[in-house]
């Protein structure tokens, strides 16, 4: 697939996902969900290398992204006490239902194409992700390493399962580490902007300081940077140009940030 | 007759389902197991698994196959209850604290998603693609029904059609799917499983209308929540829809929705509803759906399961809580 094609594919998929996520009433009250474009690039890059019919791979990409969005949406459900008739409760109710709706759609689309094995693989991944989320969210005594391991399960389990399902170990290794780096970058941005996330919230809840989490994130990035660099240096033919460009850029920006922090 | 007495011939299989449910929710993360068990052990009628098993009797009944459908449907129902308690901000369910009350909303969300995933893992043991098409469509409709319910809250200008479409999505379709999928998993012919779908649909409609009536006619003790709770939460159910034909009643409800202290107004509203003809009119609609369910049953082969379905439908129509 040439460079323009993969860009077009990602753009088309994004449009399709946005259309699926749209519900006129829900969108009146809650923000339209954000689609993780990096993960979409990983999934499309991977799936388009397989000999699958267009409808099958696009349903597959759509379903995985719907699940990802469903799970991300449920992370936004607030825990504070709210007025029983106020807009905050209304917003919370629709956030719960929007996530449920997207989950239902994942099952619906794979059922339509009869991809029952894939429904099972994704369900198993949803199960693991929620176990890991509860582990991060609730357990008070875990160490940073334990927390990072669970966090990476949350971030990469869906794509890992997809690669396992199609029996592509090289893609699995590359994308697992790409997902980790993508997640680390996102957390660093959230940290800088003082935004909430399941990882950061728990870190603060345990009384740890922000510099500690920053160091933990950088430390966790090192093995992943090394793996991704190896794939890039080997000139692995399955890595398309846009993906290559994205990975170089992500590694570069992480290394630059790390140096700034190190010098500071 | 008690509900459980209507299908004693299924006792061994129902015990098996109960055991499977416990096994399915077990995980290495103790909190998820505890939260899910907390809900499972609170009980419930297990009406969906019962419908699945009974419907399976119209095909080549093999409990080791059909159990996957029964367990999956109960898990889907459980997952939706966990999320519903977050939606309704409910602290109690079946006399026990809800997961969101015992832990918090986030734990409830993750537990609900976990149970949902377990349900899908379980149902994939069924290989018939049609079963998945039906169930997945039902699940999407179920959520759309809940969104509709939120949208229609406090809306006094909705009509009977809106109400019926909402309860179809919210309740009837999952019961209909339970009946149909049990038959499909047992390899029953299309002519049979389609009839069972219709039976479940009609019973489900009647069940929800009865539920909506009981919200006004039952007691707080039996309901486990205050009488008139649905209306207090802004849900316009069938008795209210009929009562809204009276402009004075409409004014009362409008005042209720903006009142700081609703005690006196809700009491007046309950008195109006229980003393006028709106309950009888609602009961008639419920009975009409039951009659349709019974008519469908007559078209099915005569067996023990058909008798049990008949008894259950009758029970649903006459239940007092």
- Ramachandran bin of B236, using left for φ above 0, alpha for ψ from -120 to 50, beta for the remaining angles: beta
Partner-chain contact B142 A104, CB within 8 Å = yes
Please give the pLDDT value at position B60.
98
What's the mean per-residue pLDDT of chain A?
A: 91
Q: What is the C-alpha separation between A44 and A17, in angstroms, rounded?
A: 13
Q: Provide the pLDDT confidence category of residue A258 given band limits of 50, 70 and 90.
A: confident
Q: Which of A74, A75, A123 sits opposite B120 (nearest CB)?
A: A123
Residue A4 has pLDDT above 80, yes or no: no
Find out whether B207 and B171 touch, Cβ atoms under 8 Å. Answer: yes
Residue A2 has pLDDT above 80, yes or no: no
Lowest mean pLDDT among A120-134, A151-165, A198-212, A223-237: A198-212
Q: Which of B274, B236, B48 is CA-nearest to residue B151?
A: B236
Please give the pLDDT value at position A1.
57
Residues of chain B with pLDDT under 70: 320-321
Domain boundaries, chain B: 3-317
Report residue A57 as tokens.
């791979």
Kindly report, residue by residue over A41-74, the tens digit of the pLDDT: 999 999 999 999 999 999 999 999 999 999 999 9
Hey, of B31, B75, B89, B120, which one would you mutate to test binding to chain A, going by the most A CBs within 10 A of its CB?
B120
What is the fold of B3-317? Answer: Farnesyl Diphosphate Synthase (1.10.600)
Structure-token match 């905050």, residue found: A88
3-state secondary structure chain B: CCHHHHHHHHHHHHHHHHHHHHHHHCCCCHHHHHHHHHHHCCCCCCHHHHHHHHHHCCCCCCHHHHHHHHHHHHHHHHHHHHHHHHHCCCCEECCEECHHHHCCHHHHHHHHHHHHHHHHHHHCCCCCHHHHHHHHHHHHHHHHHHHHHHHHCCCCCCCHHHHHHHHHHHHHHHHHHHHHHHHHHCCCCHHHHHHHHHHHHHHHHHHHHHHHHHHHHCCHHHHCCCCCHHHHCCCCCHHHHHHCCCHHHHHHHHHHHHCCCCHHHHHHHHHHHHHCCHHHHHHHHHHHHHHHHHHHHHCCCCCHHHHHHHHHHHHHHHCCC
B118 in contact with chain A, both atoms CB, cutoff 8 A: yes
Q: What is the C-alpha separation between A124 and B169, in angstroms, rounded?
A: 27
Partner-chain contact B109 A94, CB within 8 Å = no
Lowest mean pLDDT among A121-130, A195-204, A227-236: A195-204
pTM above 0.80, yes or no: yes
Q: Provide the pLDDT confidence category of residue A87 given band limits of 50, 70 and 90.
A: confident
Please give the pLDDT value at position A263.
61
Partner-chain contact A97 B143, CB within 8 Å = yes
B220 in contact with chain A, both atoms CB, cutoff 8 A: no
Q: Which of B149, B309, B113, B289 is CA-nearest to residue B230?
A: B149
Q: Provide the pLDDT confidence category of residue A209 given band limits of 50, 70 and 90.
A: low
Please give the pLDDT value at position B318.
77
Please give the pLDDT value at position A139.
73
Of the two residues A43 and A259, the one the predictor is more confident about is: A43
Most confident region among A173-187, A196-210, A211-225 by mean pLDDT: A173-187
Q: ipTM exceeding 0.90? A: yes
């Amino acid at each position: 697939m040439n460079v323009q094609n993969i860009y077009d594919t990602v753009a088309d998929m994004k449009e399709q996902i946005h259309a699926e996520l749209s519900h006129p009433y829900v969108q009146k009250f809650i923000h339209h969900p954000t689609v993780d474009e990096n993960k979409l690039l990983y999934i499309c890059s991977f799936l388009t290398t397989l000999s699958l019919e267009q409808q099958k791979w696009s349903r597959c990409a759509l379903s995985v992204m719907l699940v990802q969005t469903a799970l991300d949406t449920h992370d936004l459900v607030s825990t504070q006490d709210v007025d029983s008739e106020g807009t905050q409760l209304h917003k919370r109710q629709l956030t719960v239902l929007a996530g449920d709706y997207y989950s239902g759609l994942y099952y619906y689309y794979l059922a339509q194409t009869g991809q029952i094995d894939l429904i099972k693989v994704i369900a198993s991944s949803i199960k693991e992700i929620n176990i890991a989320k509860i582990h991060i969210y609730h357990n008070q005594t875990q160490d940073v390493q334990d927390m990072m391991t669970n966090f990476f399960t949350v971030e990469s389990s869906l794509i890992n399962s997809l690669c396992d399902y199609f029996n592509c170990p090289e893609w699995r290794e590359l994308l697992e580490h790409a997902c980790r780096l993508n997640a680390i970058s996102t957390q660093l941005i959230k940290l800088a902007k003082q935004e909430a996330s399941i990882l950061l919230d728990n870190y603060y809840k345990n009384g740890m300081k922000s510099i500690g989490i920053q160091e933990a994130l950088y430390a966790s990035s090192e093995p992943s940077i090394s793996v991704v660099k190896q794939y890039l240096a080997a000139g692995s033919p399955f890595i398309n140009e846009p993906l290559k460009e994205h990975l170089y850029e992500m590694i570069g920006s992480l290394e630059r940030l790390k140096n700034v922090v190190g010098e500071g | 007759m008690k509900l459980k007495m209507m299908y004693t011939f299924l006792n061994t299989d129902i015990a098996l389902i109960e055991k499977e449910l416990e096994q399915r929710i077990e995980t290495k993360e103790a909190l998820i197991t505890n939260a899910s068990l907390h809900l499972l052990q609170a009980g419930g009628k297990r009406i969906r698994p019962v419908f699945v098993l009974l419907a399976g009797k119209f095909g080549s009944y093999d409990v080791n196959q059909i159990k996957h459908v029964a367990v999956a449907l109960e898990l889907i129902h459980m997952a939706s209850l966990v999320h519903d308690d977050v939606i309704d901000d409910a602290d109690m369910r079946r006399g026990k604290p809800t997961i969101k009350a015992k832990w918090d909303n986030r734990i409830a969300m993750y537990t609900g998603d976990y149970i949902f995933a377990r349900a899908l893992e379980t149902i994939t043991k069924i290989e018939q693609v049609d079963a998945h098409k039906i169930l997945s469509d039902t699940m999407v409709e179920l959520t759309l029904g809940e969104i509709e319910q939120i949208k229609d809250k406090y809306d006094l200008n909705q009509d009977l059609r809106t109400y019926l479409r909402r309860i179809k999505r919210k309740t009837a379709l999952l019961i209909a799917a339970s009946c149909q999928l049990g038959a499909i998993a047992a390899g029953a012919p299309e002519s049979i499983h389609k009839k069972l779908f219709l039976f479940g649909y009609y019973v489900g409609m009647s069940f929800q209308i009865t539920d909506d009536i009981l919200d006004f006619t039952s007691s707080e003790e039996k309901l486990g929540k205050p009488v008139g709770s649905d209306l207090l939460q802004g849900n316009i159910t069938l008795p209210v829809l009929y009562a809204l034909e009276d402009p004075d009643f409409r004014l009362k409800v409008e005042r209720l929705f903006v009142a700081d202290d609703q005690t006196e107004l809700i009491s007046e509203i309950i008195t109006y509803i229980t003393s006028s003809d709106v309950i009888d009119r609602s009961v008639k609609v419920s009975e009409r759906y039951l009659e349709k369910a019974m008519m469908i049953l007559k078209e099915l082969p005569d067996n023990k399961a058909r008798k049990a379905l008949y008894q259950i439908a009758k029970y649903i129509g006459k239940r007092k809580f």
